[in-house]
Amino acid sequence: MAYDIVADIQRLKKEKNAVILAHYYEDGDIQDVADYVGDSFYLAKMGQQVQQDTILLAGVVFMAESVKILNPTKTVLVPDMEASCSLVKGAPYDKYLAWRQQYPDAVAVTYINSSAEVKSISDVIITSSNAQQIVESIPKDRKILFGPDQHLGRWLSKKLGRDFEYWNGACEVHVLFNAKRLVELIAQHPDAVVIAHPECDDSVLQYASVIGSTSRLLEEVEKNPAKKFIVATETGIFHQMQKKRPDVELIQAPVLDSGCSCNNCPYMKMNNMEKIKWALETYKPEVKLDEALRLKAKVSLDRMMDITS
Ligand code: 13P
Ligand code: SF4
């Protein structure tokens, strides 16, 4: 009989009283074995609410850290502890602290794509699905320090007509989408709706009719009657888009070098079914956080949860 890893993972979930949360950028087989699939805000919220003893977060490590911060009595596992994010790597604690200290009176608004240490020196956390609501809740006379993703910040700043001080981080995947090639693609497919994640550069975002979080982009594909979409975000989300709309054509927004697969997030794609099975069998790798750090980081995450609830 052929080896059935899906059945094995389902059995382990029951035996270990575990739940799997997966991000839309994971491979389709991982999304299909998960109990909940969503954007980074949804995963944090579900991670806070689920009742099972063990939570396996199939995504990147900052997502699992957020769950551990919000729900510390659970065992939180990841398939691969090396699954980081260029935004986390580009915002080391010491440098971020020095930047933050230059503006002691400012409100530090920090993207969830950051380390627990950076969260611990932030005032409020945002994700791309709640950033607008959270920034709008901050009085207009307060200066805002926005990081680590400058592109998300610049998009928000333009949208809200508000100036920020930026950290100069970027998503190594979304910055590769190329505006010149996108214009050529739009000319070839004038009937396509262009949708983009706000981590893209403004040169790309200017051609998108819908800009939003992964869940917002999925919603657009689900509800917009158009038959063709040019999608400027990571390819993993095509799985849910195609499930919800098998009738539409999805075209990946182009990068400069058409031969590379660089619109796949290398961190999200470190995860696979074998690693998930192994993590459930061995309870490793487990996300552990120093309690003092967790409590400090929880303040800014709790604010996000309070404002968006
Ligand atoms: P979402 O919150 O929109 O899912 O984005 C997470 C992310 O890492 C995008 O690159
Ligand atoms: Fe980080 Fe970009 Fe990967 Fe999202 S797609 S996890 S922002 S590197």
Identify whether residues 209 and 146 lie together within a single domain. Answer: no
Q: How far is the CA of 4 from the centre of ligand 1 (A)?
A: 31
Identify whether residues 61 and 106 lie together within a single domain. Answer: no
Identify whether residues 225 and 78 lie together within a single domain. Answer: no
Closest residue by CA, ligand 1 atom 7: 40
Q: What is the pLDDT of residue 257?
A: 81
- Residues at CB less than 6 angstroms from ligand 2: 60, 85-87, 113, 171-174, 199, 234, 265, 267-268
Q: What is the pLDDT of residue 55?
A: 99
Q: Looking at the domain assignment, is residue 165 inside a domain?
A: yes
Identify whether residues 99 and 166 lie together within a single domain. Answer: yes
Identify whether residues 278 and 207 lie together within a single domain. Answer: no
Identify whether residues 302 and 284 lie together within a single domain. Answer: no
Identify whether residues 179 and 167 lie together within a single domain. Answer: no
Q: How far is the CA of 169 from the centre of ligand 1 (A)?
A: 15
**Spatial CB neighbours of 5, under 8 Å, sequence gap ≥ 6:** 273, 274, 277
Q: What is the pLDDT of residue 95?
A: 98
Q: Looking at the domain assignment, is residue 257 inside a domain?
A: no
Identify whether residues 91 and 234 lie together within a single domain. Answer: no
Record the pTM. 0.97
Measured from the CB, is residue 128 less than 6 Å from ligand 1? yes
Q: Looking at the domain assignment, is residue 272 inside a domain?
A: yes
Closest residue by CA, ligand 2 atom 8: 85
Q: What is the pLDDT of residue 1?
A: 64
Domain that holds residue 109: 87-172+297-308
Read off the CATH number of the domain in which 23 is found. Answer: 3.40.50.10800
- Closest ligand 2 atom, CA of 86? 8
What ipTM goes with this model? 0.98
Identify whether residues 91 and 168 lie together within a single domain. Answer: yes
Q: What is the pLDDT of residue 99?
A: 98
Q: How far is the CA of 236 from the centre of ligand 1 (A)?
A: 11
Q: Looking at the domain assignment, is residue 68 inside a domain?
A: yes
- Closest ligand 1 atom, CA of 197? 3
Grouped pLDDT means (10 residues each) for the chain, 309 residues = 91 98 98 98 98 98 98 98 98 98 98 98 98 98 98 98 97 97 98 98 98 98 98 98 98 88 92 98 98 98 96
Identify whether residues 127 and 75 lie together within a single domain. Answer: no
Q: What is the pLDDT of residue 74?
A: 98
Q: Looking at the domain assignment, is residue 152 inside a domain?
A: yes
Identify whether residues 179 and 162 lie together within a single domain. Answer: no
Q: Looking at the domain assignment, is residue 260 inside a domain?
A: no
Q: Looking at the domain assignment, is residue 263 inside a domain?
A: no
Q: What is the pLDDT of residue 89?
A: 98
Cα separation, 213 vs 47, in Å, equals 18
Q: Looking at the domain assignment, is residue 239 inside a domain?
A: yes
| Domain total in the chain | 3
Identify whether residues 203 and 276 lie together within a single domain. Answer: no
